[in-house]
């Protein structure tokens, strides 16, 4: 059997599907050819680092299948997820006469996936996209569910669209080149899924941290598959984030504030989410929504993955509050967070929280004060 035949398939919404398994990468060109027989042009969008590892192999594989394929490489990093780079990719596609029978192939981590997905969502009012995530973060979270976006000065992911990928190819062998820091930041999102919806996943990650961090193939595959399935189930119920899907942003209210502000140490998205989860749970405990023992438990689990749990002391509370006030989950001017009630259990819609209570809590932690 081929890797594609062995892969576990997870339906998401509509005709969007995630295929999970090792060794998928070399079979993608043939699969794309079979799935998109009327497509005349294929555009690989990647960053220079990922392209150096996998880009030429994918390009040559597509051409060997007779597919008219071109590639565009962006500079690695969050700064490329912006209006300027999006326009540059679009201009490249226009110059190469890409029409509506074009397929965008996103090859990379979360930045590439978000950017390429948004390009596909708006180019000629929308062309299809497939995702080939090359990071744990992209596999378990950002490549699944059709959220696409760019960052703007006001904050992260504030300009974007919902545009479901036709296929997500989650090949765990593509993770072998990642550093521990890159692996663990993605695992923060899997811990998040366990915390809000799947106590069994949380228990598994709690007990198998060492094996998972070392990329034990069986353990890592179990975590990735379960986390993806959890997200797919939520997206199937609430594709456009009217309620339930908003709970997947657990940890992101405080986490995005930490991520958006200048710090002494570079923290990846998942590391900021880890910090956010701990402190959002602590705020919920202060409000009486859950027992503080759950805060201690998630803190210890995240530390087992060498993830940060403390808010950087150089950050100022007033700066963090400004960022939180423009969070996408907010309604009627109120900050809202996912209400976790215990490990694996949360309310189906984020709840409003008192700004004064959050500010008071943060001032007790951050030396920068107000």
Q: Catalytic residue positions?
A: 125, 147, 189, 231, 241, 245, 249, 252, 256, 269
Nearest 5°: the CA angle 239, 244, 245 is 50
Tokens matching residue 229: 């399935």
Taking CA atoms, 345 is separated from 76, 186, 283, 301, in Å, by: 36, 21, 16, 17
Buried b (16+ CB within 10 A) or exposed e, 114-123: bbbbbbbbbb
Phi-psi region at 219: left, alpha or beta (left = phi > 0; alpha = psi -120 to 50): alpha
Distance separating alpha carbons of residues 142 and 252, to the nearest angstrom: 13
Partners of 18 in the β-ladder? 10, 168
Cβ pair 279, 254 in contact under 8 A: yes
Collapsing DSSP states into helix, strand and coil, what is residue 156?
Answer: strand
Distance separating alpha carbons of residues 157 and 160, to the nearest angstrom: 7
- HEC profile for 25-91? HHHHHHHHHHHCCCCCEEEEEEEHHHHHHHHHHHHHHHHHCCCCEEEEEECCCHHHCCHHHHHHHHH
Cβ pair 65, 27 in contact under 8 A: no
């Amino acid at each position: 059997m081929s890797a594609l035949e062995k892969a576990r398939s997870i339906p998401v919404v509509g005709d969007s599907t995630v295929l999970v398994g090792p060794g998928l990468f070399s079979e993608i060109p043939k699969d794309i050819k079979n799935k998109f027989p009327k497509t005349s042009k294929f555009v690989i969008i990647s960053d220079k680092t990922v392209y150096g590892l996998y880009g030429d192999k994918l390009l040559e594989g597509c051409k060997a299948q007779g597919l008219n394929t071109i590639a565009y490489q962006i500079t690695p990093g969050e700064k490329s997820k912006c209006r300027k780079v999006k326009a540059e990719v679009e201009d490249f596609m226009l110059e190469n006469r890409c029409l509506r029978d074009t397929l965008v192939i996103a090859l990379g981590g979360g930045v590439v996936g978000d950017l390429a997905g948004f390009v596909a969502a708006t180019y000629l009012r929308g062309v299809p996209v497939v995702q080939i995530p090359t990071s744990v973060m992209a596999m378990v979270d950002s490549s699944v569910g059709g959220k696409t976006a760019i960052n703007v000065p006001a904050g992260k992911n504030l300009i974007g669209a919902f545009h479901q990928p036709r296929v997500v190819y989650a090949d765990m062998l593509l993770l072998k080149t990642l550093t521990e820091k890159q692996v663990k930041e993605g695992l923060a999102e899997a811990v998040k899924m366990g915390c809000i919806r799947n106590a069994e996943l949380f228990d598994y990650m709690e007990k198998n941290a060492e094996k998972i961090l070392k990329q034990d193939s069986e353990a890592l595959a179990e975590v990735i598959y379960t986390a993806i399935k959890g997200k797919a189930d939520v997206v199937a119920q609430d594709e456009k984030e009217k309620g339930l899907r908003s709970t997947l942003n657990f940890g992101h209210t405080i986490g995005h504030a930490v991520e958006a502000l200048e710090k002494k140490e570079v923290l990846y998205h998942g590391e900021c989410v880890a910090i956010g989860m701990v402190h959002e749970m602590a705020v919920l405990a202060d409000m009486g929504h859950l027992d503080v023992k759950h805060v201690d438990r998630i803190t210890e689990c995240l530390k087992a993955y060498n993830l940060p749990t403390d808010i950087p002391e150089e950050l100022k509370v007033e700066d963090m509050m400004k960022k939180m006030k423009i969070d996408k989950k907010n309604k009627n001017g109120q900050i809202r967070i996912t209400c976790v009630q215990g490990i694996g259990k949360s309310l189906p819609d984020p709840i409003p929280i008192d700004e004064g209570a959050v500010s008071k809590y943060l001032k007790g932690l951050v030396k920068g004060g107000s």
